Amino acid sequence: MLDADFFRRWMAATAASVDREADRLTALDSPIGDADHGSNLQRGFAAVTAVLDKEAPAAPGSVLTLAGRQLISTVGGASGPLYGTLLRRTGKALGDAAEVSAEQLAEALRAGVEAVMRLGGAAPGDKTMIDALVPAVEALDEGFGAARAAAGRGAEATIPLQARKGRASYLGERSIGHQDPGATSSALLIAALAEADGA
Ligand code: ADP
Ligand code: MG
């Protein structure tokens, strides 16, 4: 079973890897965006860890809804509301149970990813974070390690795609040949699940 502590470790591991990879995320966002993805998420996840340290919510669901609210209020840019919605919707699906199973988390994350697709209007193949998140939640039943591998492959598979959503879509065919920054950060978020689990 996964308790609130697991979810705090997940958010802390995400913040740490976003910190480590911030320059790379920003570099990916420079040819097909406005070179702010790394700094956007760095600011957002620093705020998430700060609020979680201060408020220490006792339930998995409230860890994620609080984290999501924080991302929405601190991340300028498209990715803030999208990641915020992912975590808030996932948290809401977990309810106020003190512990949840891996299966419940997988189901809640699928609801979260669906909410992101509704909000942003992106489908798989549009060269967005959805291209890492959808394969990840599909692989979650096989464990966090399988989800991490699927998200990484999904992010790399955005390279040959033409962007149909977000800033990169303004470039049309010139968006082809670059890995999507949001799919790359989504792979970090999913990899952090395995880290929080000690895998
Ligand atoms: P901005 O584009 O406002 O500068 P960021 O640089 O922080 O925001 O995030 C860009 C990332 O957000 C993209 O790489 C893409 O993965 C994701 N993104 C943008 N628009 C959408 C959308 N409509 N649906 C899903 N993801 C999106
Ligand atoms: Mg950007």
pLDDT at 84 over 70: yes
Ligand nearest to the CA of 43: 1
Note the pLDDT tens digit of each residue in 7-39. Answer: 999 999 999 999 999 999 999 999 999 999 999
Model's pTM, two decimal places?
0.98
Task: Tell me the CA–centroid distance for residue 98 and ligand 1, in Å.
Answer: 33
pLDDT at 199 over 80: no
- CATH superfamily for 2-197 is DhaL domain (1.25.40.340)
CA nearest to 194, candidates 13, 8, 55: 13
Task: Tell me the CA–centroid distance for residue 192 and ligand 2, in Å.
Answer: 22
Which ligand 1 atom minimizes the distance to the CA of 34? Answer: 4
Residue with CA nearest ligand 1 atom 14? 182
Contact (Cβ atoms closer than 8 angstroms) between residue 22 and residue 172: no
Residue 198: which residues within 8 A CB-CB, separation 6 or more? none
Task: Tell me the CA–centroid distance for residue 143 and ligand 1, in Å.
Answer: 27
Note the pLDDT tens digit of each residue in 71-82. Answer: 999 998 899 999
pLDDT of residue 76: 83
Residue with CA nearest ligand 1 atom 4? 77
Domain ranges in the chain?
Answer: 2-197
Ligand nearest to the CA of 182: 1
Note the pLDDT tens digit of each residue in 103-162. Answer: 999 999 999 999 999 999 999 999 999 999 999 999 999 999 999 999 999 999 999 999
2-3/99-100 β-pairing: antiparallel
Task: Tell me the CA–centroid distance for residue 35 and ligand 2, in Å.
Answer: 5
